[in-house]
Structure 1
Amino acid sequence: MTPMTAPDTALPPVPARVVLADVEPAIALGPLDGRYRPTVAPLVDHLSEAALNRERLHVEVEWVLHLTEHGVVPGAPTLDAVEADYLREVVTSFGADEIAELAEIERTTVHDVKAVEYFLKRRLAAAPEVLGRPTVLPAAAELVHFACTSEDVNNLAYARMVRGAVRDVWAPAATALVDEVAALAHRYAEVPLLALTHGQPATPTTLGKELAVLAHRLRRQLRRVAGDEYLGKINGATGTYGAHVVAVPGADWEVVARTFVERLGLTWNPLTTQIESHDWQAELYADVARFHRVLHNLATDVWSYISRGVFRQVPVAGATGSSTMPHKVNPIRFENAEANLEISCALLDTLSATLVTSRLQRDLTDSTTQRNIGPAFGHGLLAIDNVRRGLRALDVDTDLLARELDENWEVLGEPVQSVMRAAAVAGVPGMDNPYERLKDLTRGRRLTAQDMREFVAGLGLPDEAAARLAALTPATYTGLAASIVGHLEDAPR
C-alpha cells in the first residue's frame, strides 16, 4: 500500500490587486453609505459630519446675532437686516466648497470647533467686499465664540441635529409605518385567526386585532418620543459663566443663556459641568430603541405568519427568492428589518449608557460616541423602510385560516367549561368539575365538530345555553376582537 503523503499546503502567490481604498469615487466602508444609501440619505442632512459643522456655524452665527441684538457686550456693533441676512447665509449656503474649505482650516487647527470659528471670521472679514459697501461686520469678529467653550457650541449643535433627524426624518417614517399597520388592522379586523400561545392552538382571535395590538404599542412609543426634550446650555468651561462674568459683569448671563438656548428651539439646562449632561439623549434613545424593539416583535410575528402560510408574499416580477430553489419567496424584508433593528438598538443602548457619564467636569468620551448617532438612526430607518415594503407585498390566505380553525375544535373547551361554570353558579345541576371534564375531553387530542356537539348535547345545559354553544364554531369564537380594533382611534397621535 502506497503511504499517503501530506498535501502541499503552500498557497500560490496572490497577484497584485487594485487597492480599493484608492478608487474614485471613494467606496463606502459601511452599508449605510453604500448599498443602502438611497434609503438613509435624508439623515445626511441632519446627522453627518457636514451637518454637524453646519449646525455649529448656525450656533455661532445666532450667538453673534443674539449678543448684538440685545446689546449684551458694551461697544458691540448693531447689525442691520442686510448684515444679519449675510451672516445667516453663511449657514444656508454651506455646501461642497465650504465643506472643503473648513476641512483645510481644520488641518491647520487640528480642532474642529476652532476651525468653524476661523471659517466664520473669514466671512466677517470678507463682508465689505461681498456686500459692496461699508459694514460693521468685521468689527463683530471677536463676538464669534465669545466666552464659549467648544462644548457650548457642540451640545447645541447636536441637540438641533438630533431634533431635526427625529422630527423631520425618523418620526415621519415611523408614523407612516404605524398608520399602515393600523390600516391593515382595520382591514382584517373581522378575519378570524387561530391563535397560538406557547406555539399551541389557543382561543381564536382575529388577524386585525393582533395587528392592532402591535400598532397600539408602536403608537404609544411614538408619543413618548414626541414628548422628549432636547436640552442645551451655553455657560462656559465648567458651567459657571466664569469668563462671561469677568468680561461683562453687568450682564444677566443666565437670562442671556436661557433666551439664547430657547432661541434655538431647545430647552435650557441651568446646571451642567463643561458638558450638557446628555441625559436627554439617553432618554430619547431609550424611547426610540423601545419603538425599534416593538417593531422587531412585529417583524418576527409577520415572519412567523408567513412561515405558517397565514400571509402569502406577492412575488415581484423578475425577483429571485433563492439561488437554487426557484419556488421560494423569501421574507427578506422582515429578516433584513430584524437585523438592522438589532444593530440600531445596540448602538442606541451604547449611546444611552455611555453619554450619561463624564469624568468630573469633562472628558471626551462623548465626542467620538456622538458621531455614531447617525448609524444608530440609519439602521433603524432602513428597518422601517423594509417593514413598510414587506407589508405592502402581503396577502392573506383566508382559506388556510378557515382550515386551521376547523381542524381545532378543541379550542372550544374554554367557552364550554365557562358556560358550565356560569350554569353551576345559577344552580343548574350536573355542572360539577367543568374544567376537569373538558380537560379529559380535549387534552392531547383533536376533536371534530361532531365530537364537541355531542359532548355539549349531553351536559344537560339550559336550552338557551346549549343552543348558544351548538352554534359556536372556532371561526365565530373571537369575542370582541373585531370591535376592539376601534381602540386604535381612541388614543391621541
Structure 2
Amino acid sequence: MSLSSLNAISPIDGRYRSKVNELAAYFSEEALIKYRVLVEIEYFIALCEIPLPQLSDFDTSLFENLRDIYRNFSTEDALNIKDIEKVTNHDVKAVEYFIKEQFDVLNISKYKEFIHFGLTSQDINNTAIPLSIKEAMNDVYVPEYLVILNRLKELIIEWKNVPMLARTHGQPASPTRLGKEIEVFVVRLEEQFNLLNDIPSAAKFGGATGNFNAHNVAYPKIDWKSFGSKFVQEKLGLQHSFPTTQIEHYDHMAALFDALKRINTILIDLDRDIWTYVSMDYFKQKIKAGEVGSSAMPHKVNPIDFENSEGNLGIANALFEHLSAKLPISRLQRDLTDSTVLRNVGVPFAHTIIGLKSTLKGLNKLVLNEAKFAEDLENNWAVVAEAIQTILRREGYPNPYEALKGLTRTNEKINQKTMSDFIETLDVSDEIKSELKQITPSNYTGI
C-alpha cells in the first residue's frame, strides 16, 4: 500500500499535510539525509583549506562541484542512500559511501578516505539537525509567527477605542478596552520571542568522545579545537559546543523548545479568551457559503479555528516538553535515546505551524458586535463604584469603600439612575457630584 494522505498514521502527514508541506524540506528523512551530505561535503572542503598534506594538491575549482552534490540533492539520491543503508545498517555510513561514489564520478577517488575523516556519526547528526532546526525557524516558523503578530497589532489599532466590560474571576470588573487586551498578548509574545532570539543554535563537533582523538593522533601539530570552532561557526553558522561527550549536550536546543512552548502557551491563552468572547456574543464570525457549523443544528457557527489551534498547540507543547526534558540527559559519554527522539523534532514544529495558521484564520473571521459590548457595560453600572470610592478617598470622605459596598452588594439592579441618586446623597460639593456623575462604564477605562 503506497502512502497517501488518507492512510497516513499521523494527521500532519494526512489531514493537515497541506498546511505543513514547507517543513518537509527541514524535518523529513530526505531532508535529514541532505543536511548530513551538506556537513560531510563542507567538512571535506574545510580539510582542503587547512590544507592537510594529502589534500594540498586538491583542485579547489572543484569545491563548487562538490557543493552541487547537496545543492542538487534529489529524492533519487536519498533513495540511493537508503539502499546503501540496507547493507551498512548505519545511516551516516551510508551517506559517506554515497559521497565516495560521487567522488568516483568526479574522478577524485584518491581523496575518498578524507570523507568523514576522524569523525563519529554524531559530529554529522549534531551539526545537521541543529542546522535544519535553525533554517526551519528562520524560513518557516518566524514568518508564520510574524504574520499572526502583525495581525494582532492591526487589531490593537482597529479596536483601541472599543470599551469592554472586564471580568476577573468570571465576574464583572473595572472596564477595559478591547484593543488594550489584545496588546497584552502582543507584548507577551514579543518578550518571549526576544528571549528565543537570544538562544544560540549549538552543535557538537569533536570526534568519537569529543576530544578530537583521531584528528590529534594523525596530525598532532594542527589546532583541531580551533579548526572545529571555525568550521561550525563560519561554515555552518552554528555555535560550537566544546567540550562535549560523544554527543551535543542539547542544553540550548532544550532552551529553544521551552521558549517555543511558552509562545504556544500564550497563544493558547489567546485562543481561549477569543473563544470565550465568541460565546459571549462579543464577536460574530464571517460565514463562508456552503460551510456547515453543526451536523444537527443549522444555526451554529462554531469557533473551530481557535479550538483547532488550542488542540494542536497543546500537542506541540507536550512534545516540546519531552524533548527539552529528555535530550540533555544521556548515560555517560552517550546512549542512543537522543537519536530516535530527534527524529521527531519536526512533529511539534508541524503542530505549532498548524496552530498558528488556525489562530490567524479564526482572527480573520471575527466580526465585532459592538452592540453587545455596549449592552454589557450598560447592564453593569456597579463597576464604576471603584472610581467613585477612589475620588471620595481623594476628598477625605469617611469610609467611602464601605458606602459603595453597601450600595453595590444589594440584590437590586444598579443603573445610571441608581448611581446618580446615590451620588446625590453624598455630603460633597456640587462640583464633586458633577465629577462623579461624568463617570460611566463606557468611559472608565483607564489609560
Say yes or no: does 1:333 pair with 2:305: yes
**Which of 268, 274, 280 pairs up with 1:296?**
268
CA deviation after TM superposition for structure 1 residue 24, in Å: 5.8
Matched, 1:350 2:322: yes
Alignment of 1:86-485 (within 5 A): 86-128=65-107, 137-262=108-233, 263-424=235-396, 431-443=397-409, 445=411, 446-480=413-447
| Aligned partners of 1:233 and 1:257 also within 8 Å | no
Cα distance in 2 between the residues matched to 1:252 and 1:24: 49
Percentage of pairs with the same residue:
40
Could you tell me which runs of 5 or more consecutive residues in structure 2 were left unpaired when the two chains were aligned: none
**Match for residue 28 of structure 1?**
8
Q: Name the aligned partner's letter for residue 87 of structure 1.
A: L
Q: Aligned AA for 1:434?
A: P
Deviation, 1:81, is: 4.8
Are the structure 2 counterparts of residues 444 and 346 from structure 1 closer, same or farther at C-alpha, using a change threshold of 3 Å?
farther
* CA deviations over 1:199-258 (Å, ceiling 9, x no partner): 100000011000110111111111112221011121111111111110111111011101
Q: Is the 8 A contact 1:409 1:473 kept in 2?
A: yes
Which amino acid counterpart does residue 442 of structure 2 have in structure 1? A
- Measured at CA, do residues 261 and 444 of structure 1 come closer, stay the same or move farther in structure 2, by a change above 3 Å? farther
Q: Deviations over 1:408-456 (max 9, x none)?
A: 00001100110110000xxxxxx21111111110025430100101111
The alpha carbon displacement at 1:80 in A equals 3.7
Cα offset for 1:329?
A: 0.3
Q: In structure 2, the residue corresponding to 1:75 is in which secondary structure? A: helix
| Residue 43 (structure 2) pairs with residue 63 (structure 1) | yes
Q: Could you tell me how far apart the structure 1 residues matched to 2:3 and 2:23 are?
A: 24
What amino acid does structure 1 have at the position aligned with 2:262?
Answer: R
Report if the CA contact (8 A) 1:64-1:140 is conserved.
Answer: no
Contact 2:30 2:75 in 1 (8 A): no
Structure 1 counterpart of 2:34, from 36, 54, 77: 54
* CA contact 2:247–2:333 (8 Å) conserved in 1: yes
Runs of 5+ in structure 1 lacking a partner? 1-21, 129-136, 425-430, 481-493
Q: 2:399 is aligned with what amino acid? A: N
AA aligned opposite 2:113: E
Partners of 1:468 and 1:333 lie apart in 2 by 45
Q: 1:23 to 1:239 in 2, by over 3 A?
A: closer
SS of the residue corresponding to residue 54 of structure 2 reads: coil
CA gap of 1:300–1:78, structure 2 versus 1, over 3 A, is farther
Letter in 2 for 1:117: E
Q: Which amino acid aligns with 1:149?
A: T
How far apart are the structure 1 equivalents of 2:431 and 2:140?
A: 57
SS at match of 1:456: helix
Aligned length: 444
Matched letter for residue 89 of structure 1: D
Question: What's the C-alpha RMSD, in Å, of the aligned pairs?
Answer: 1.2
1:91 maps to a residue whose letter is Y
Q: In structure 2, how many angstroms separate the alpha carbons of the residues matched to 1:39 and 1:309?
A: 30
Superposed CA deviations along residues 178-212 of structure 1, whole A, max 9, x for unmatched, are 11111101110110000011010000001100011
Larger Rg: 1 or 2? Answer: 1
Output the amino acid matched with 1:75.
Q
